[in-house]
Chain A
Amino acid sequence: GAVVSQHPSRVICKSGTSVKIECRSLDFQATTMFWYRQFPKQSLMLMATSNEGSKATYEQGVEKDKFLINHASLTLSTLTVTSAHPEDSSFYICSARVRQGRDEQFFGPGTRLTVL
């Protein structure tokens, strides 16, 4: 099956630091990856769509200068939370669509970010 990995699984950092999260598709090439965020007892909210070799498309209300996305290869997308603050503490999950024409997405295990 389609396997998506994320690293790190958990981060605790001080306010003002930047945190980089990696998302990798392990057994397939993903032209499109997605980044979601989930606050406690809330639904997953799409933050941005990451396309290989082009700029990410951000959802309304998501600051592109704060959440930097890079999709440099067909198997790797990164999300950098710049100058993190406590309100950025959340569960960040990436997903990848297995192939064109199919809408199913497979999710990475998520990264739990805690900003002190």
Chain B
Amino acid sequence: RKEVEQDPGPFNVPEGATVAFNCTYSNSASQSFFWYRQDCRKEPKLLMSVYSSGNEDGRFTAQLNRASQYISLLIRDSKLSDSATYLCVVNSGGGADGLTFGKGTHLIIQP
């Protein structure tokens, strides 16, 4: 069974703080990993792909640990606009398979 697990939160974080989320996946054959962001009643939007070597995009850093089967997302200098639900997403098929989503971690940045 394909599963992606995340702490649903909510994480209440003051503006400017650093916050980190983790997620774990059960399928060791998983090949591609992503973080998506979803605002309330909107579609998911790709935040960043996650590479084995780790990658950074501005204030966001993603890391992958294949041995432990977890993925992390770090947000530095958090902004009010970062408030959203962050979805950990895995593609296990590498071909035509759809994505497997975690339930998301709800982040609230407080002024």
Given known contacts A32-B96, A49-B97, A103-B31, is B102 in contact with A108 (CB within 8 Å)? no
Is A103 within 8 A of B98, CB to CB? no
Given known contacts A44-B101, A46-B100, A105-B99, is B43 in contact with A93 (CB within 8 Å)? yes
Q: Does A109 contact B (CB under 8 A)?
A: yes
CB within 8 Å of B: which A39-72 residues: 41-46, 49, 51, 57, 59
Q: Does B94 contact A (CB under 8 A)?
A: yes
Interface size class of A (residues with CB under 8 A): 20 to 34
CB-CB under 8 A from B49, the residues of chain A are: 104
Q: Which residue of A lies closest to B44 (CB)?
A: A107
Is B96 within 8 A of A44, CB to CB? no
Is A107 within 8 A of B100, CB to CB? no
Contact with B along A14-46 (1 / 0, CB 8 A): 000000000000000000101010000111111
Give the interface SS of chain A, mostly helix, strand, loop or mixed: strand
Selected contact of A107 from candidates B4, B45, B91, B103, CB within 8 Å: B45
Q: For the A-B complex with A44-B101, A105-B46 known, give 16 more contacts whose Cβ atoms are closer than 8 Å.
A: A34-B99, A41-B103, A42-B103, A43-B4, A43-B103, A46-B99, A49-B96, A49-B97, A49-B98, A51-B96, A93-B44, A95-B98, A95-B99, A103-B31, A104-B46, A106-B46
**Residues in B lying within 8 Å of A, measured CB to CB:** 4, 31-32, 34, 41-46, 49, 87, 91, 94, 96-104
